[in-house]
Structure 1
Amino acid sequence: MKRTNFRWFMAVLIFLITFMSYMDRVNLSVATPTIMQEFGFTKVDMGFLQTAFFTGYAFMQIPGGMMAEYFGQRIASTLAVTWWSVFTVLTAWGNSFTSLAIIRALFGLGEGPIFPAMNNFIYRWFNKAEKATASSFMLSGAFVGPVFGPAVTVALMLAFGWRSVFIIFGAAGLVLALAWWFLAKNDPRQCPFVNKAEADHIESGMVLNNSKAAKEIAPWGSFITSTQFWAIGLQYFITDYIMYVFLAWLPLYLMEAQGFSLAKMGIAASFPWAALCLITFLTGYVSDKLIAAGVSKHKARTLFGASGLLISGAALYMAAIATTPTMNVFWLTISLGSLGFTFNASWAASMDIGGKFCGTVSGWMNFWGNIGGVVAPVATAWVATHYGWQAAISMTAFSAILGVVCWLAVKPDQVILKDQI
């Protein structure tokens, strides 16, 4: 029987969903100068609006992962995409700091479950030698959003005003939610587009214990006492902290500190995200090839993860002291791009050490990452306001050292629960 490859079609759909999730996030950053002017907001005000989103987003990470494991990722993912798309549309009706803060917090609650749920889907739908590549679809979709986001958002803003951006992208998200509901299944064998040969390939080397109840709760007692569990969470705090500084403040930074116009900023801001997307995808492909060739997961995951943070911090410092806008954008591109090594390694490692509870482990990891998202917008705004943009960027650069140290304690060859693979 010729093997179908429907799982890769689903990988493309995951790409589109995470692409939309980040388009919806980056739109507020690009619209920041216009919103500040219309409502009279300060940088700190906008930082709190970003933090409102990340507070809701971080709060739902662990519950989102557990929901995907208990109820199935199909329900968790569909509800998440529908919820955040509705509140994306409602952002257009925000007319004060309070209303925008509430809407963005509820928007964050909706986006919270999506990455843990998708990670759970990848664990169940892809062969063990394909998981990093599949993860790269999830992550690359997220990072392509900010590549096209600035230019597309600026074009829509200039043509129809900033509110139109949120209405259009919210409506597109509802279409994707409908597609996921009809196509995604918790078990690939339940999908009419997956034949037996593909299902057998997916499950090759996977331990499936069907004697246990389908609904299980992660063993938190074992997780919370694991050094790996804490290390993968804390390194992701640093990784996401750096990334969210870019997401929240890159457009305004390029305009205020580097003198870019709104139109030129839309182009310049896309380069770092394009590099991040490319390196994330290549890292997933190379990582899977290395593991298939017999290289240990420690080398394929841990060394990639630590090296990405090390390069990112060094390049970000070079961007802070760059003397021309061109060199500044060059080093910013190297800095954010190198995080692609770390992002892919993080999500692949969370599946390696989490096994069938990878939804909970990745939810825990992304919870800490988005605590970084809570802190980054306001902390960066405060430092930039009181000490200037160079100090804010330099502080972010040196934070990478802590992430490198944490990676040394992550051992993807060792599953937290020895009987779960």
Structure 2
Amino acid sequence: MRNFRWWLAVLMFLVGFISYMDRVNLSVATPDIMKEFGFNKMDMGYLQTMFFLGYALMQIPGGIMSEYFGHRRVVTIAVTWWSAFTALTAASSSFTTFAIVRGLFGLGEGPVFPAFNNFIYRWFNKNEKATAASFMLGGAFVGPVFGPGITVALMLAFGWRSVFVVFGVAGLVLAALWYFFAAESPRNSKYVTASELAHIESGRCESEEKKEIAPWRDFMSSPQFWAIGIQYFITDYIMYVFLAWLPLYLMEAQKFSLAKMGIAASFPWALLCVLTFTAGFISDKMIAAGVSKHNARTWFGSIGLVVCCVTLYLGAIAKDPWMNVMWLTLSLGSLGFTFSASWAACIDIGGKFAGSVSGWMNFWGNIGGVLAPICTAWIATNYGWEAAIVTTAISAVIGVVAWFMVKPDVPIERRQSGSSSGVPVVK
């Protein structure tokens, strides 16, 4: 089959789509769940945080497992696990059961994106990394585009519980497809031609066969390692404010109906998806043309956060509801440049340990996810929605500063001798 790696990229896109549909479903169903069970904003913030806590805890182990056991097994087991607990959300009947199910759901989703970055490292040419990462991220971000509309339609027709059952079943199907088609290496796939394999491996000097644990002592002493985590903490914090609270914000602060909210809430995610693909494609083309990774990654990542900061503030102070939606759309959409640069930079500085570096980065990103729902709920409850949005906008400044310490041109140094990873060894 010609260009089979891109068919797998489409499958990765679909898994990402379902993963974010499963997350956004709770935020869209929040008004109905609050009404049925008597939950308040703080209760829902804690439930969102339970997912992110479980998700964050599995980032680093997920990256390590993907490097040692392989992306095929890790992705298959993780998608199966989270799909089961997605379906079980429909059976929850109290705050405690919701919290347990959401926490276990988060544990299941945790390993998937670090494992996907390991898959990208193995399956794509060095000049295709950002574009391939855009498929992973694009699927995740297109989920909230269609999520509100699909979820609202299912809720109106069959009730909020039907949403979780439908998407739980869909996830199980995708897990089976990944296990069947996504071989651990293109060398082991019967669908990869000799010419495609040669293209994938051109310019690669390190061996894929030797299983190694990432040199965490060296990583932990690297400013780059910490910087990529800090900038992603900020980036994900902002994104998860949108994911957790945009539907309720539009209904409470901007007075949208449920049906209008389902439409308006999709616009920011649609632009995010488009700009993620655009940034990944342009970034790879720039590097192939000889532009430095610093210019292709660092500037994309930092400019995305600057634009996000400014437009998010403008959205917070906008008086017209649809002007508010426009600024929020530009704000979240601009992060497409930052997300694309972030995941590609993990491969740039991590090499064969891209899974571990990705897990570290996404761990900090999802600490932001743990804090975003509850912090935003607290600020909105005590000081109003405008204060909550302005506070979120200001946080972007920290991410901009961190980006200039990532240095994607320079792989993280390793001090162990005898390295075969292709990462420089310090004698």
Partner in structure 2 of residue 326 of structure 1:
322
Report the Cα offset of residue 209 of structure 1. Answer: 2.4
- State the AA in 2 paired with 1:403: G
- State the AA in 2 paired with 1:352: D
Report the Cα offset of residue 221 of structure 1. Answer: 1.0
Cα distance per residue 1:273-317 (max 9 Å; x no partner) = 000000000000000000011100000000000000010011000
Partner in structure 2 of residue 209 of structure 1:
207
Partner in structure 2 of residue 403 of structure 1:
399
* Equivalent of residue 129 in structure 2, options 128, 131, 136: 131
User: Following the alignment from structure 1 to structure 2, what is the Cα–Cα distance between the partners of residues 86 and 209?
Assistant: 36
Partner in structure 2 of residue 29 of structure 1:
27
- State the AA in 1 paired with 2:142: V
* Equivalent of residue 222 in structure 1, options 215, 218, 222: 218
What SS class does the counterpart of residue 95 from structure 1 fall into? coil
- State the AA in 1 paired with 2:234: I
Partner in structure 2 of residue 196 of structure 1:
194
The 5-angstrom pairing of residues 162-311 of structure 1 reads 162-209=160-207, 214-311=210-307
Partner in structure 2 of residue 73 of structure 1:
71
Q: Establish whether residue 159 from structure 1 lines up as the match of residue 161 from structure 2.
A: no
Partner in structure 2 of residue 5 of structure 1:
3
User: Following the alignment from structure 2 to structure 1, what is the Cα–Cα distance between the partners of residues 257 and 18?
Assistant: 26
Partner in structure 1 of residue 18 of structure 2:
20
User: Following the alignment from structure 1 to structure 2, what is the Cα–Cα distance between the partners of residues 168 and 356?
Assistant: 37
Cα distance per residue 1:5-24 (max 9 Å; x no partner) = 00000000000000000000
Report the Cα offset of residue 206 of structure 1. Answer: 1.1
Partner in structure 2 of residue 313 of structure 1:
309
- State the AA in 2 paired with 1:104: R
Q: Percent identity?
A: 71
User: Following the alignment from structure 1 to structure 2, what is the Cα–Cα distance between the partners of residues 324 and 235?
Assistant: 32
Partner in structure 2 of residue 48 of structure 1:
46
Q: Establish whether residue 420 from structure 1 lines up as the match of residue 422 from structure 2.
A: yes
- State the AA in 1 paired with 2:155: M
What SS class does the counterpart of residue 289 from structure 1 fall into? helix
User: Following the alignment from structure 2 to structure 1, what is the Cα–Cα distance between the partners of residues 306 and 195?
Assistant: 42
Q: Is the 8 A contact 1:61 1:364 kept in 2?
A: yes
Q: Establish whether residue 149 from structure 1 lines up as the match of residue 139 from structure 2.
A: no
73-82 or 410-419, larger mean C-alpha shift: 410-419
Q: Establish whether residue 392 from structure 1 lines up as the match of residue 388 from structure 2.
A: yes
- State the AA in 2 paired with 1:340: G
What SS class does the counterpart of residue 91 from structure 2 fall into? coil
Q: Is the 8 A contact 1:73 1:117 kept in 2?
A: yes
Partner in structure 1 of residue 417 of structure 2:
none
User: Following the alignment from structure 2 to structure 1, what is the Cα–Cα distance between the partners of residues 29 and 48?
Assistant: 12
Partner in structure 2 of residue 111 of structure 1:
109
Q: Is the 8 A contact 1:147 1:274 kept in 2?
A: yes
Structure 2 unaligned segments of length 5 or more: list them.
415-420
Q: Is the 8 A contact 1:59 1:109 kept in 2?
A: yes
Q: Is the 8 A contact 1:70 1:214 kept in 2?
A: no
Q: Is the 8 A contact 1:189 1:196 kept in 2?
A: no
Partner in structure 1 of residue 95 of structure 2:
97
Q: Is the 8 A contact 1:127 1:201 kept in 2?
A: yes
Q: CA RMSD in A?
A: 0.9
Q: Is the 8 A contact 1:309 1:339 kept in 2?
A: yes
TM-score scaled to structure 1, two decimals? Answer: 0.98
User: Following the alignment from structure 1 to structure 2, what is the Cα–Cα distance between the partners of residues 385 and 369?
Assistant: 24
User: Following the alignment from structure 2 to structure 1, what is the Cα–Cα distance between the partners of residues 204 and 256?
Assistant: 52
Report the Cα offset of residue 195 of structure 1. Answer: 1.2
Partner in structure 2 of residue 38 of structure 1:
36
Q: Is the 8 A contact 1:279 1:338 kept in 2?
A: yes
Partner in structure 1 of residue 418 of structure 2:
none
User: Following the alignment from structure 1 to structure 2, what is the Cα–Cα distance between the partners of residues 103 and 58?
Assistant: 15
- State the AA in 2 paired with 1:39: F
TM-score scaled to structure 2, two decimals? Answer: 0.97
User: Following the alignment from structure 1 to structure 2, what is the Cα–Cα distance between the partners of residues 8 and 265?
Assistant: 34
What SS class does the counterpart of residue 92 from structure 1 fall into? helix
Report the Cα offset of residue 143 of structure 1. Answer: 0.2
Report the Cα offset of residue 216 of structure 1. Answer: 1.1
Q: Is the 8 A contact 1:4 1:197 kept in 2?
A: no
Partner in structure 2 of residue 375 of structure 1:
371
User: Following the alignment from structure 1 to structure 2, what is the Cα–Cα distance between the partners of residues 261 and 209?
Assistant: 56
Cα distance per residue 1:62-110 (max 9 Å; x no partner) = 0000000000110100001000000000000000000000000000000
User: Following the alignment from structure 1 to structure 2, what is the Cα–Cα distance between the partners of residues 40 and 256?
Assistant: 17
Aligned length: 417
Structure 1 unaligned segments of length 5 or more: list them.
none
Structure 1 outlier segments of 4+, above 6 Å: none
